[in-house]
Structure 1
């Protein structure tokens, strides 16, 4: 049985690479690792509809198609873990230390350098496909949106980075991490995800619907729920958007 090769599809401009990948995937049987990329994404967004600012020709804005049929739908957060770790790995090859702000924002120190939007299609009892959208700030030197704390690689390193080189490295790292998932190395993935979490050590200020409180990170479960332990020892479990850091 032969498998079609991944497609590399470039558009001069798109509103959203995820939307375009979704449109293409609904019309044809795209191979795993097919990629939609544009140098000018005009209406990108992240989790819960948050907008994503990207200056033309300065950053990486793309979507890649995965077909994790081996993964039960209730374990879909594993995709988020491996994508986050792949970006961490990529930045490490550039000499940049970064962390994962739960659930999957990528931070350099206290500023956001990359965002991830994963949209899954479930068919019956399996994941039919996952569209992984990634926005990585690379060579943008000024940000004008109301995003609170963006940073780019050039701002951090004072060096210009070749977009093609960063993309190639990122796809390679993603394939490596995804292979770990395919071969059931979930314990390693879980450990490295927890070790890479932003503010994983110590007590920090958080905010939920009841107000601000101090707590430390305890764990993130297989469905992506975050458990915090407050200063009186009470464990609090949260889904995405139910709690946030006070930065």
Structure 2
């Protein structure tokens, strides 16, 4: 059995009663979190009181995607100090953020750090990474196991790379920060819901989970806009939502 639980769905900062980017993916007893932004750790602890994880993946170093990894380190330090180091697969800059938040004990005493690039085995999954356009280095991640593929953009502007990241995915979790028409000029580092849907269609994804909403957005608008460009099931991420995969 596999399922994905939304820990947080906001971009930039969390609205009241919400959290920023974070997802818990569970498959055959293996548990990995994808990002842990502001406010996600309490929601993870509701699901896993001892934060009993097998791995953490952080797509990039912005605090709305990684700051609660520091809180997770405190949980591990004070409640599971004798446990093996927790594998942390992360983009450049994440270690420096964690060091600034809590230099002692050093994050490397809690986590086993791995760069987030290339391809490797991760529990039951094959992990592939795709560098995507953002303000800082950001890696989309593709986790595949027999009969299951989950893809996640982190944050991303529109890019042909998205078609490979989400190719045939059972669930494509995509940045849908903006609403309305695409901005006409300048480099693009986040997407509209319509753009996310366009690339999900190009990828041939089966289901689309929109996330990273700008605080205050009406999420039904994002779903409606995405439906014009994607024929499959479209879901707006909501804290506590669990999807069977």
Q: When the two structures are superposed, what TM-score results if normalisation uses the length of structure 2?
A: 0.26
Q: When the two structures are superposed, what TM-score results if normalisation uses the length of structure 1?
A: 0.26
